[in-house]
Amino acid sequence: MTNTKNILLISPFFFPEPISTGKFNTNFVTALTAQGHKVTVLCFHPFYPDWKAKKSNEQHKGVEIIRGGSNVFYTKKTIFRRLILEFSFAFFVLRKLRVHQKGKDIVMPVFPPSFAFYFISPFLNKNIRKVGMVHDLQEVYSEGKSGFLNKFVKFFIHKIEKKCYQSCNKILFLSNEMKKEAKKLYNLEENKLEVQYPFITLKNNITNDLSTIFESTKINIVYSGALGEKQNPMKLLSFFSEASKKIQNTAFHFFSEGETIKRLKSINKNKNIHFHNLVKKENLEELYNRSDIQIIPQKENTSKGSLPSKLPNLLASGCKVMVITDAESEIENLFFEKDIDLVVNKWDNNLLIEKLQFLIHKEIDIEHQKTIAKKIFTIDKMILKVFR
């Protein structure tokens, strides 16, 4: 058993945010406190995925939550929205650091955002161990964007992320692919880099609240969770629209919230594509059980930037999964090595429809899929690597 530690986690995303990094951070901190560690979280009031601050006084058992950002206003334009988040959160953390670093053994910045740790690292007590966790490599997502502003932002991201990662005593990545790319981009030392896949969080909740959403006579194809640029939303909508016309007896569903999903809903004219709010966390397993196939999309040339944190839960649920990702990506290699279906390497509607039809009719070994998921997607291993 690891000695009890006093930990300061720094990320704008935390409980009660329902998805993405906020959900990940909450589950991670819950596991830390269950092992007896003391955790303080510097975060913002919930704002994701709507990018609208919602003041919250909700507490989480065993965690000291210090919140800010209740008056931050985010624009609809992605690049400015991210900059507002970076600078406002950095200012908040700088103001809170002096008090809340006292008595801490470990400080854990969760990247992105990165500006906060960039600015506070010179002011951290030298005896505090710095363990970074990387969810996304922002430089990967800035590749290929034209225009002076985007090029300037990419240059800025490179400088900031390089300094942040080099300032850590240890950095934990969610895939080998991310680690290798970051090591190359930022000249990082191998001996302080760790890799651990995201973890399963399903709790065997049995509910029956979604029966009116899904038609049992239909083949239900589902995308659920955060939806942004890295999920290739316009091409995903195009794929759903074409597939609904060519594959009989299908219904396509989006379960998401935020500006991107509002935009897709406004342009959609296909009655076989349905839009829903995010489901409550207690209904997540029911959602997976009622989904005939769940789609995990990644924008072209971005697999090195992140590994979807919902992948473990989907595999552990026994749901059929179709991942759209780059050739020779970590997910493709993992699926091939562990004999799991299905990965598609190209955003071509004809190919996607062909592979979707194949998966609809394929009998998969659900128990094998669950066993593999439970073996490699574990939170205990992640915690061990944080302290190792």
- DSSP code of 35? T
pLDDT, averaged across the chain: 93
Higher pLDDT, 299 or 79: 299
pLDDT for 384 equals: 93
The answer to whether residues 118 and 97 touch, using CB atoms and an 8 Å cutoff, is no
What are the tokens at 87? Answer: 């600078």
The answer to whether residues 304 and 182 touch, using CB atoms and an 8 Å cutoff, is no
C-alpha to C-alpha distance for 61 and 319, rounded to whole angstroms: 31
C-alpha to C-alpha distance for 298 and 197, rounded to whole angstroms: 17
212: pLDDT strictly greater than 60: yes
What are the tokens at 213? Answer: 């959403």
Q: For residue 149, what pLDDT band results from cuts at 50, 70 and 90?
A: low
- The C-alpha angle with vertex 57 and arms to 34 and 18, in degrees rounded to 5, equals 65
Chain segment 246-265, per-residue pLDDT in tens: 999 999 999 999 889 999 99
Q: For residue 1, what pLDDT band results from cuts at 50, 70 and 90?
A: very low
The answer to whether residues 145 and 123 touch, using CB atoms and an 8 Å cutoff, is no
pLDDT for 12 equals: 97
pLDDT for 147 equals: 67
Chain segment 159-201, per-residue pLDDT in tens: 999 999 999 999 999 999 999 999 999 999 999 999 999 999 9
pLDDT for 150 equals: 67
pLDDT for 20 equals: 87
388: pLDDT strictly greater than 70: yes
Whole-angstrom Cα Rg for the chain: 21
pLDDT for 122 equals: 92
Provide φ and ψ at 352, rounded to 5°.
Answer: -60, -40
Q: Where are the beta strands (DSSP E) in 28-156?
A: 38-44, 63-68, 106-111, 129-134
CA 279 to chain centre: 17
Q: How many helices (H) and strands (E) does the chain have?
A: 14, 13
pTM of the model: 0.90
C-alpha to C-alpha distance for 156 and 168, rounded to whole angstroms: 19
Question: What mean pLDDT comes out for the span 363-384?
Answer: 94
Question: What mean pLDDT comes out for the span 265-273?
Answer: 95
Question: What mean pLDDT comes out for the span 95-112?
Answer: 96
pLDDT for 251 equals: 96
Question: What mean pLDDT comes out for the span 353-367?
Answer: 95
Name residues whose C-beta falls within 8 Å of residue 255's C-beta, 6 or more positions apart in sequence. 222, 223, 224, 225, 276, 277, 278, 279, 287
Chain segment 226-235, per-residue pLDDT in tens: 898 999 999 9
Q: Are strands 63-68 and 170-173 parallel, antiparallel or unpaired?
A: unpaired
pLDDT for 78 equals: 82
- DSSP code of 159? H
Residues listed for the chain: 388
Chain segment 299-351, per-residue pLDDT in tens: 999 999 999 999 999 999 999 999 999 999 999 999 999 999 899 999 999 99
The answer to whether residues 256 and 223 touch, using CB atoms and an 8 Å cutoff, is yes
145: pLDDT strictly greater than 70: no
Placement of tokens 């969810």 in the chain: 135
DSSP 243-281: HHHHSTTEEEEEE--SHHHHHHHHH---TTEEEEPPPPG
